Amino acid sequence: MPRPQHPLTIQGVSLNSVAEQFGTPVYVYDGDKITSQIKTLQQAFSKVPLKIKYATKALTNVNILKVVKLAGGEVDAVSVQEVRLCLEAGFKAEDIMYTPNGVSLEEIKEVVELGAMINLDNLPVLELFGQTYGHEVPVCIRINPHIMAGGNAKISVGHIASKFGVSIHQLDEILELVKKYNIQVTGLHLHTGSDILDAEVFLKSGNVLFEAALKFPELKFLDFGGGFKVGYKEGDVVTDMMEVGNRVSEAFLKFCEKYGKKLELWLEPGKFVVSEAGSLLVQANVVKKTPQITFVGVNSGLNHLIRPMMYDAYHDVYNLSNPEGEEKKYNVVGYICETDTIAAERDIAEVRMGDFLAIKNAGAYGISMASNYNSRLRPAEVLIWEGKARLIRKREEFEDLLRNQVVLDL
């Protein structure tokens, strides 16, 4: 099998030079890739009035949000803090969708004050919202369509046993509350999972949304969520965006005709926008042979990239320092005191101690899920923009670990 092509440069900037200049571990992002992913979505859905609400939870650096904005994207935020980061990045409040799960009315009120679009996912808070704002503040309602979708159980959220959204079986209860408090429902929303391959899922869940939408006369948009699958390794099947775009747009336009009004179609991609744009660069601390396995121990681990351990996610790993070296089998492991295997039984160009390695597809849910476990410091972040490597987050320092500790005089 031919060796997979792995990038040694981004926009002409060598990844080795990024590792040398900024140190490792370091997350590095290709701004052009983020822009081109957004353009792909815009093209795929060009027949409908589209809003791309990038799911900021995937990667929240304010500079990344600015790249999304420049490409014509808007944002989806899941906490008041994410809303504030989006405002910091220059988004107008009305371009921010706030899709929390299980938060208090207090936090929702804060976001109403900030001016973002509110998306509610349970009946008790919908009732409190109605009592508080009546018809005054528009709202979107997240419907759970009860469709099983997504790459694995942990990231499937549209099924009957999921905590997310208001069950489609409770539509009558939603309608009662809407009537009782004269709630202004301007959007309906769903999101069924992550790593979804099949256009059918979007069509099936779309049909549930269309059925429900006929009962809400004040709608301005329908939000189909995110979840598009990207490639993690050579030969991976990925969501065919043009197919999804064409088929969903066609169904959507047909529905709008029936509804009697042209609505906007909203999408909330996270991974699709940033996953492939990001790599985590690490250094091989130790190459250790046991009777069975050769381990490469790197200066990172589940504290920086938890996806392999949490979801058994596959992340390609390749050697930046010795790309032409003879391939050998390795288990690439972290330095955390747990079994944090980043990649098992992988063919990688011969790794010597001190080599820089790149871990691919680390843009989405990489640093945004990172922690200080084992009192390790979180990495720096670098954005390649207009052919230059720019630091967009400083590496943490020891003092950061103590910053919020209140040290008692014991």
Strands 264-267 and 221-223, bridge-based pairing: parallel
Q: Structure tokens of 188?
A: 């309906």
Candidates 3-11, 209-217, 220-228, 323-331: pick the segment binding ligand LLP (CB under 6 A).
220-228
Q: Which residue is nearest to ligand LLP (CB)?
A: 270
Q: Structure tokens of 310?
A: 């949490």
Q: Is 365 annotated as a binding residue?
A: yes
Closer CB to ligand LLP, residue 155 or residue 380? 155
Query: Least Å distance between CB 197 and ligand LLP?
Result: 12
Count of other CB atoms within 10 angstroms of residue 291: 4
Say if CB 56 and CB 367 are below 8 A apart: no
Find the binder of ligand LLP among 99, 156, 205, 361 (CB under 6 A): 99
Render the burial of 152-189: b for 16+ CB within 10 Å, e for the rest: eeebbbbbeeeebbbbbeebeebeebbeebebbbbbbb
30 contacts ligand LLP (rule: CB under 6 A): no
Name residue 318's beta-bridge partners: 358
Query: Least Å distance between CB 150 and ligand LLP?
Result: 8
100 contacts ligand LLP (rule: CB under 6 A): no
Distance CA 180, CA 115 (A): 24
Find the binder of ligand LLP among 191, 315, 346, 376 (CB under 6 A): 191
Query: Least Å distance between CB 191 and ligand LLP?
Result: 4
370 contacts ligand LLP (rule: CB under 6 A): no
Distance CA 88, CA 39 (A): 24
Candidates 84-92, 268-276, 288-296, 390-398: pick the segment binding ligand LLP (CB under 6 A).
268-276
Q: Is 311 annotated as a binding residue?
A: yes
Candidates 83-91, 269-277, 288-296, 342-350: pick the segment binding ligand LLP (CB under 6 A).
269-277
79 contacts ligand LLP (rule: CB under 6 A): no
Distance CA 400, CA 380 (A): 13
256 is catalytic: no
Residue window 152-171: x/- pattern of binding to ligand LLP, with contact defined by CB under 6 A = ---x----------------
Find the binder of ligand LLP among 259, 295, 311, 314 (CB under 6 A): 311
Closest CA to 34 of 191, 230, 176, 220: 230
97 contacts ligand LLP (rule: CB under 6 A): no
35: helix, strand or coil: helix
Q: Is 227 annotated as a binding residue?
A: yes
Closer CB to ligand LLP, residue 62 or residue 309? 309
Say if CB 298 and CB 282 are below 8 A apart: yes
Three-state secondary structure string covering 340-357: CEEEEEEEEECCCCCCEE
Distance CA 37, CA 326 (A): 34
268 contacts ligand LLP (rule: CB under 6 A): yes
Render the burial of 68-106: b for 16+ CB within 10 Å, e for the rest: bbebebbbbbbbbebbbbbbebebeeebbbbbbeebeee
270 contacts ligand LLP (rule: CB under 6 A): yes
Distance CA 114, CA 110 (A): 6
356 contacts ligand LLP (rule: CB under 6 A): no
271 contacts ligand LLP (rule: CB under 6 A): yes
Q: What is the largest CA-CA distance in the chain?
A: 72
Q: Is 278 annotated as a binding residue?
A: no
45 contacts ligand LLP (rule: CB under 6 A): no
300 contacts ligand LLP (rule: CB under 6 A): no
Binding site feature residues for substrate: 307, 311, 338, 365
**Catalytic residue numbers, as ranges:** 337
What does the binding site for ligand LLP look like in residue numbers (CB under 6 A)? 55, 58, 76, 99, 155, 191, 194, 225-228, 268-272, 307, 311, 364-365
Binding site: what residues are annotated?
227, 307, 311, 338, 365
